[in-house]
C-alpha cells in the first residue's frame, strides 16, 4: 500500500528531529528531558528511617529547564512510625550537562517557598556561572508552600483581619500591645487546631534533618548548600548535625545562631533605624529634601507622616 506523501514527510521530520536531538545533546540531558528518577544513597540513615533515605525522587518537567518532585518525611524524626508528610522540590537544570552537582538553596523567611523561588527566579538565587554548572534545587520546608502545610485560619477574611486590621488604640500603648498579643494568641490557637500534630515539629532541626534525607534521595554523599537570611541558620544547624556531610556551603546574610528571637529583633530594629537615618542624611545633603533641612527635622516629618497612616491608611 502506498503511503500518503504527507505521512511520509511527517515521519521523516520526526525521525530527523530525534536524530538531531541525539546528536546535539548529551545522553544525560536527554534522560532528564524525558523525566528522571534519582538513585538514592541510603548509607548513614538513622536507624528506623532507612526507607525514607532510600526513596528515589521522580522528577518531571514543570517549566522550561525546571523539574518538580516530592519526597516523604516523618512528622517526628525521633519516631519512625510517625505520620508521613510530603516535601515539595523544584530543580532548575544546569545548562551544561552533566551537572557538577546539586545545589540546595533556601531563600530564608522563615516561611519562604524555596521551590517557588527556584521555579520562578533561579537567576536571582545564583549567578550565571552557577546556573551553568549546578542543578539548583529548592526544597519547601515542612509546613511551607507546596509541602504538607501549616493551616491556621481557614476563612481568608479571618486571616486578613489578623494580618492587616489596625488596632484602635494609640500605637505602642499598653492597649495597642495587648491587642497585638491577643491576635497572636488567637492565631497560634487556630494553627494548632487546624494543623494538629505537625505543628509541634515545624522547627529548624527537623527541617535540617529533612535536608539530609533529600541529599541522600538525590544520590549525593555530601550536601552543597546556599542559604540566605534565615537560611543561614538552617545551614548552620545542618552543619552542626551532619558535619561530615557538608560539601560546599555558603551562608549569605548570616544570622547569629546563638541569639534569641528578642535579641535578633532588637538587632534588626537598630539596623532599620540606621538605614532610615542614612536615607534621611542623603535626602538632606542633596538639597531640596521634602522632609526638612536637617536629619532631626526630616526624622520628625517621617514620624508624623507614618503616625497619620493609622488614622488615614
161-198 confidence digits (pLDDT tens): 998 988 888 888 999 999 999 999 999 999 999 999 99
User: Quick one: pLDDT band at residue 48, thresholds 50, 70, 90?
Assistant: very high
- How high is the mean pLDDT of the chain? 88
**Domain regions of the chain by residue span:** 19-149+202-252, 156-199, 261-311
User: Quick one: pLDDT band at residue 35, thresholds 50, 70, 90?
Assistant: low
- Cis before 98 (ω within 30): yes
Long-range own/partner contacts, residues 33-38 (CB < 8 A, 24 or more apart): 33/61, 35/59, 35/60, 35/61, 35/67, 36/67, 38/217, 38/218, 38/219
Which residues share a beta bridge with 136?
Answer: 92, 103
Q: What is the pTM of this model?
A: 0.80
Which helix or strand (DSSP H or E) is residue 141 part of? none
Cβ count within 10 A of residue 89: 24
Total length of the chain: 313
Which cell numbers hold the place of 122? 533561579
Average pLDDT of the residues in 74-80: 98
Q: Half-sphere exposure of 307 toward its Cβ, with a 13 Å CA cutoff?
A: 10
pLDDT digits (tens, 9 = 90+) for 4-18: 444 344 443 433 433
Looking at the structure, give the CATH architecture of the domain made up of residues 19-149+202-252. Answer: 3-Layer(aba) Sandwich (3.40)
Amino acid at each position: 500500500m502506498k503511503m500518503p506523501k504527507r505521512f511520509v514527510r511527517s515521519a521523516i521530520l520526526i525521525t530527523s528531529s530525534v536524530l538531531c536531538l541525539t546528536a546535539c545533546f548529551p545522553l544525560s540531558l536527554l534522560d532528564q528531558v524525558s523525566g528522571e528518577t534519582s538513585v538514592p544513597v541510603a548509607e548513614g540513615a538513622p536507624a528506623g528511617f532507612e526507607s525514607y533515605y532510600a526513596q528515589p525522587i521522580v522528577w518531571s518537567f514543570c517549566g522550561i529547564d525546571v523539574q518538580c518532585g516530592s519526597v516523604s518525611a516523618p512528622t517526628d524524626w525521633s519516631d519512625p512510625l510517625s505520620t508521613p508528610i510530603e516535601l515539595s522540590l523544584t530543580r532548575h537544570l544546569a545548562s551544561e550537562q552533566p551537572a557538577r552537582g546539586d545545589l540546595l538553596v533556601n531563600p530564608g523567611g522563615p516561611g519562604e517557598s524555596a521551590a517557588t523561588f527556584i521555579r520562578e527566579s533561579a537567576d536571582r538565587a545564583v549567578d550565571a556561572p552557577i546556573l551553568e554548572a549546578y542543578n539548583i534545587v529548592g526544597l519547601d520546608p515542612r509546613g511551607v508552600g507546596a509541602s504538607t502545610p501549616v493551616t491556621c485560619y481557614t476563612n481568608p477574611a479571618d486571616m486578613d483581619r489578623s494580618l492587616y486590621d489596625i488596632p484602635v488604640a494609640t500605637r505602642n500603648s499598653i492597649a495597642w500591645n495587648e491587642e497585638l498579643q491577643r491576635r497572636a494568641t488567637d492565631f497560634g490557637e487556630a494553627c494548632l487546631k487546624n494543623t494538629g500534630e505537625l505543628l509541634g515539629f515545624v522547627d529548624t532541626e527537623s527541617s535540617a534533618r529533612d535536608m539530609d534525607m533529600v541529599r541522600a534521595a538525590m544520590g549525593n554523599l555530601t550536601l552543597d548548600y546556599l542559604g540566605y537570611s534565615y537560611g543561614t541558620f538552617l545551614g548552620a544547624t545542618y552543619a552542626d548535625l551532619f558535619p561530615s556531610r557538608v560539601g560546599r556551603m555558603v551562608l549569605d546574610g548570616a544570622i547569629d545562631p546563638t541569639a534569641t528571637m528578642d535579641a535578633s529583633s532588637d538587632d534588626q530594629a537598630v539596623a532599620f533605624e540606621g538605614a532610615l537615618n542614612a536615607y534621611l542624611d542623603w535626602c538632606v545633603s542633596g538639597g531640596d529634601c521634602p522632609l526638612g533641612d536637617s536629619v532631626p527635622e526630616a526624622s520628625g516629618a517621617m514620624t508624623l507622616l507614618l503616625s497619620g497612616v493609622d488614622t488615614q491608611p
